[in-house]
Amino acid sequence: MAITLTRPEPALWLERYGDELYRFALGRVADRACAEELVQETLLSALQALASFRGESSERTWLFLILRRKIIDHYRHQARHPEVSLSQITPDDSTEADFFDPQDGHWRQRQYPAGWQSADGALEQQELHQTLRGCQDKLPAQHAAVFVLRFVEELTAEEICKELRLTTSNYWVIIHRAKLQLRRCLENHGLGRVA
């Protein structure tokens, strides 16, 4: 039985996949303009690589693979060329020793992460998502890149180290610090420990 390959239809990409590509990008980057830019870059790259499309996957899957690569490139660039506003530079009152036992590296009992407060309603879920996004946006560029690649894109530590040219130990330090910063930020927004 012969497999019939369908030819890509670039003129219909935006209509067919534009909204879906945009939502995917917006869920992974800080703002709408950046998401729009990534979708535009994806469509342009796909158009330029049209001759190399072999039809081994669907047109949609191919476009999403290109977009995913663009998102990784975006975070790689951010990690290498961070832009830090003065509002992001805040003195840190607590140290890592406040959270972790220096002997075994585990959470101190009084600092152990507690369960989140109830977030049953859709509005509460939306507020939680917005707060988490806001906290994520406050991370230094490299921390944000590593966090998103690990916990949103679900890349392995090895893949992230390769993409961002990090050592394994540097990766783990960045993940550790990003989690601490996110935790502090969420606690500052009332999403911390339940009494």
> How many structural domains comprise the chain?
2
194 within domain boundaries: no
Which pLDDT band holds residue 121 (cuts at 50, 70, 90)? low
16 within domain boundaries: yes
Written as one string, the DSSP assignment of 133-187 is HHHHHTS-HHHHHHHHHHHTS---HHHHHHHHT--HHHHHHHHHHHHHHHHHHHH
Do 115 and 179 fall within a single domain?
A: yes
75 within domain boundaries: yes
Do 103 and 179 fall within a single domain?
A: yes
Which pLDDT band holds residue 194 (cuts at 50, 70, 90)? very low
What CATH number is associated with residue 132? 1.10.10.10
Do 43 and 118 fall within a single domain?
A: no
Do 104 and 55 fall within a single domain?
A: no
1 within domain boundaries: no
Do 41 and 102 fall within a single domain?
A: no
For residue 127, what are the domain limits? 96-188
Do 67 and 149 fall within a single domain?
A: no
Q: Please, are residues 117 and 195 in contact by the beta-carbon 8 Å criterion? A: no
Do 47 and 119 fall within a single domain?
A: no
pLDDT score, position 70: 93
pLDDT score, position 91: 46
pLDDT in tens, 123-163: 566 777 788 888 888 889 889 889 988 888 888 999 999 98
Do 157 and 107 fall within a single domain?
A: yes
pLDDT in tens, 73-95: 888 888 777 665 545 444 444 55
pLDDT score, position 78: 80
DSSP-derived letter for residue 51 is: G
Cα 68 from chain centroid? 11
pLDDT in tens, 7-66: 778 889 999 999 999 999 988 887 899 999 999 999 999 999 888 888 888 889 999 999
* Domain closes at, from 26, 55, 80: 80
